[in-house]
Amino acid sequence: MLRSRPVRRLRPRAASVRHWRVRQTSSGSTGPIPGTGYALRRVVVATDLALLRGPVRGHWQLPLHLDASARAVYDFADPDQRQEAYQLVLLEAASLLDLERWLEGTELLRMWPELYLPRNVRAAWQSKQPALAQVGAGPRVPQL
């Protein structure tokens, strides 16, 4: 006859809280921001919106490091598809070159209130781009 051992219930230990400070680097990225799912990722931010000269028309396939989903081609003339592509680029950009290649400055400024972005991504961009901070987030997206 097998005897079962009593189940030992573990009490949860107090979580150690690490306080991260946002770091800005010369490459245009900011460091971890606490309390977000993207805390360990760097957010790449353009130094000047005028340098963003990406497409606003045409059918484009984002590189795999920006979009590994099943949707391979985006129609940048369609505002909804362009918005989806911009959100992916803002989340996944690894360098300033990614931003310059796929975002257009004037269009980014126009779409900014509607872009659904994590708070840390929006905060990083708005801290370095006063024009975006002035526009702010729309009513249907996460607020800072």
Percent over 90 (pLDDT), the chain: 58
Full residue range of the structural domain in which residue 90 is found: 29-133
- Of 4-8, 17-21, 80-84, 90-94, the range with the lowest mean pLDDT is 17-21
Beta bridge partners of 43: 30
In a domain, 61, yes or no: yes
Task: Tokens for 114, please give them.
Answer: 């509607």
Mean pLDDT of the chain: 80
In a domain, 24, yes or no: no
In a domain, 83, yes or no: yes
In a domain, 5, yes or no: no
User: Can you give the pTM of this predicted structure?
Assistant: 0.72
In a domain, 141, yes or no: no
Number of structural domains (the chain) is 1
In a domain, 71, yes or no: yes
In a domain, 113, yes or no: yes
Mean pLDDT of 54-79: 90
In a domain, 138, yes or no: no
